[in-house]
Structure 1
Amino acid sequence: MKKLIVSLACALCAASGLRAQNYAFINSESVFKSLDDYNAAIEQLDNLAAQYRKNVEQAFAGLDEMYENYQAQKAYLSETNRNRREDEIVTREREINKYQQDVLGPEGDLMKKRVELIKPIQDKVFAVIDKYAKDNALGMIIDRTNNQTLLYYAPELDKTEEIINLLKQ
């Protein structure tokens, strides 16, 4: 009788263990790069970032020129004019740094534009992944992109192409 109970308990544990191991892998980078909307958004963001960086670099070049002119003329300026010019240089540097933060900072224009362009695409991808997981009774989908703790995965569990196909429907 004890053997029957122990065997039954082991069978139940094994059955519940099998249910807990329903998972799949995807490569989210491949999924996103397969979408034309995503690639267009990334290109637009890259162009915007390049323009912002160019504006910042030009502003700092102008500041350098302003400082070099001041250094060249410093010996000939009165103390009042020197102080005024130094204040102008410091003020200009603060303005440039503020502009740089306003456009390239973590809460700047570029990040806001990124959220505006990428978030709807991410939402769409995550919704498809969620639906795929529910339809296939998966308890977990693991992103293998840049996952440094993933030591091994079975390629037959990689469902990246299936997700891409669902997104293109």
Structure 2
Amino acid sequence: MKRSIFILLILSAVSVFAQNQQTISLKVGYVDSEIIMTQFSEAIKAKSDLDGLVAKWRKEADSMTTVLQTAYNDYQKQSSTMKPEQQREAQVKIVEKEQEIQRYREQKFSQPNGEYFVRQEQLLAPVKQKVFKAIDEIAKEENMHYVLDKAGEVVVLYADSQFDITFKVLDRLKRGK
């Protein structure tokens, strides 16, 4: 009986020791995706292309707003000399222009189906794929169990710089592997 209890205690101790060894060997790395996205040339180009589209769309919306403002100002100046029927027609045209501007903005910028978000996904998807591939390769090479994103939703309260693989990922992306 004593022998069985002793063996049971030894097995329990070995089990606890083995579990502790697994916990100790857990290796976690992290990246700062903001740094990667601001220094990786393909990400910079994708963002620049997207910014160019946004500038074009905003310019178009501003132009439409200017036309609306002009129509409204003209209406204000001339409404006192207009017949009621002409006033209603002018008001309808102004409302239609407002609605057109609203539709245009929704078409371009509404989430998640606006053209901005569709183009953002199209432009950034290949970049993200390359970044994730590089992270995956480095994590495997360095026997990491987890890689966190310091810039993401995960709150990293402390991170030892020896586990930062951001620049290894950037280097791999720049070399094109």
- Same fold? TM cut 0.5: yes
Query: Cα RMSD (Å) of the superposition?
Result: 1.8
Deviations 1:84-135 (A, max 9, x none): 1111111111111111111222222222222221111111111111222233
Residue 133 of structure 1 pairs with residue 139 of structure 2:
yes
Return the offset for 1:146.
5.0
Aligned residues: percent identity? 22
Deviation at 1:79, TM superposition (A): 1.0
Match of 1:89 among 67, 70, 94: 94
CA distance in 1, matches of 2:106, 2:120: 15
1:44 correspondence with 2:56: no
Displacement of 1:78 in angstroms is 0.9
Q: What is aligned with 2:122?
A: 116
Partner of 2:3: none
Q: Number of matched residues?
A: 168
Distance in 1 between residues matched to 2:109 and 2:58, nearest whole Å: 8
Contact 1:52 1:103 in 2 (8 A): yes
Question: Which segment is superposed worse, 7-16 or 152-161?
Answer: 7-16
Q: For the pair shown, which has the larger CA radius of gyration, 1 or 2?
A: 2
Of the three residues 7, 10, 29, the one matched with 2:34 is 29
Q: TM-score, normalised by structure 2?
A: 0.86
- Could you tell me which runs of 5 or more consecutive residues in structure 2 were left unpaired when the two chains were aligned: 1-5
3-state SS of 2:159 partner: coil
Q: CA deviation at 1:147?
A: 4.9
Aligned residue identity for 1:90? V
1:53, CA displacement in angstroms? 0.9
Indicate whether 1:7 and 2:13 are aligned: yes
SS in 1 for 2:158: coil
Contact 2:64–2:101 (8 Å) recurs in 1: yes
In 1: Cα distance, 2:99 partner to 2:76 partner: 19
Gaps (5+ residues) in structure 1? none
C-alpha contact 1:52 1:104 (8 A) present in aligned 2 = no
